[in-house]
Amino acid sequence: MKTVAVIPAYNEANHIADIVQAVLPHVEEVVVIDDGSSDNTSERALAAGATVLTHVINCGAGAATQTGLSYALDNGADYVVTFDGDGQHDPKDIPGMLEFIQKEQKDVVLGSRFLKKNDIPKLRLWANKIANTITFFLSGIAISDSQSGFKVFSRHALPRINITANGFEFCTEIIRTIANENLSYTEYPISVYYSEESMAKGQNFSTGVVTVFKLIVRSLMR
Amino acid sequence: MPATINLFNILVPLFALIMIAKAYSHFRRTEKSLRELITWIFIWGAIGYIGFNPDIVTRLSGFLGIKSGLNVIIFFSIVILFYIVFKLIIALEQTEMRITRLVRGMALKNAHKKPPGK
């Protein structure tokens, strides 16, 4: 059974080596997608033992994730774990999620920060509630954490996931694909650690507004 | 047919005709679909006709129940502008998608792996 971890990273030279080394014991291959970083994210990830795919320009977390999923599909992965590159996720959750997807025989397992006691800033909490509501209206699926980057996909799900959204709206797009493709899914409680750096890089109010706007435009384009 | 012909009645239809010719030229070069060509012919045709015969707006305002003919023009202008802005946003999104596909293709072609044993 081949398991690949996909880690999109943009200017994560400070953390990426530690993350790769912490994830590697739980999977067969770690793929870091350097999304047009201006620092030496690629070199650090490569030295830490990851396969590195480099975007020549910054395209966004959605585009980087899809590059990683395409690579995993082409290279015969049975399971793919998507994991944030800013150090907010705990690699120790990976074995539990992999065991869970096999035991439950689901196509997708969605990591949820809200099914476990985590220290989450209030603003994030409310932003996520709004995102969950929008995701529900667009997909018909009600989940506790629609914007989590920590997910596991089965071989069956991989070719059906085709992320076209470049930015953070890709999380909602994945949920919509789960609904449209009738993929089975479940949630799994995960740990999350927010640092000042990860707070600055993640979604904020303005990116949230852009995300909602893009979701509406993309819905009209369909 | 207007009772007296002003410069305005000639310039606007002429400009509309040029725009239709441009749209047709884009269509011939397969840069526009037939649906887009028809849409532009409809929009510029209507603008050209209103320019040639502005009285139609007064009749249209009576028909629509909008008091002033000028308001009809402003209303339709806003609708058309919204349509154009929406088309532009979609075109931008599609261009972004094409660039992303290119970037992703390049990344997948040039995957870097750590040589074994290092």
A139 CA to chain B: closest CA distance, Å?
21
DSSP conformational letter for A162: -
Q: Which chain A residues have a beta carbon less than 8 Å from that of B109? A: none
pLDDT at residue A193 in the model: 87
Reduced to 3 states (helix: H, G, I; strand: E, B; else coil), residue A145 is: coil
A155 CA to chain B: closest CA distance, Å?
19
> Minimal Cα distance from A68: which residue of B?
B108
Whether A51 and B107 lie within 8 Å, measured CB to CB:
no
Nearest to A54 among B90, B97, B107 (CB): B107
Whether A53 and B96 lie within 8 Å, measured CB to CB:
no
Number of Cβ pairs closer than 8 Å across A and B? 60
Residues of chain B where predicted confidence (pLDDT) is lower than 50: none
Residue B34 near chain A (CB below 8 Å)? no
Residues of chain A where predicted confidence (pLDDT) is lower than 50: 222
pLDDT at residue B114 in the model: 66
| Interatomic CA distance for residues A59 and A82, integer angstroms | 17
Which B residues in the span 58-117 are in contact with A, Cβ-Cβ below 8 Å? Answer: 86, 89-90, 93, 96-97, 99-100, 103-104, 106-108, 110-114
| Interatomic CA distance for residues A129 and A43, integer angstroms | 37
pLDDT at residue A203 in the model: 59
Question: Check: CATH 3.30.1050.10 for A3-221?
Answer: no
Residue B118 in tokens: 């290092």
Q: Which chain A residues have a beta carbon less than 8 Å from that of B86? A: 220
Whether A218 and B100 lie within 8 Å, measured CB to CB:
no
Whether B100 and A63 lie within 8 Å, measured CB to CB:
yes
pLDDT at residue A216 in the model: 67
pLDDT at residue B32 in the model: 73
ipTM of the shown complex: 0.80
Q: Which chain B residues have a beta carbon less than 8 Å from that of A33? A: 107
pLDDT at residue B23 in the model: 84
pLDDT at residue A204 in the model: 60
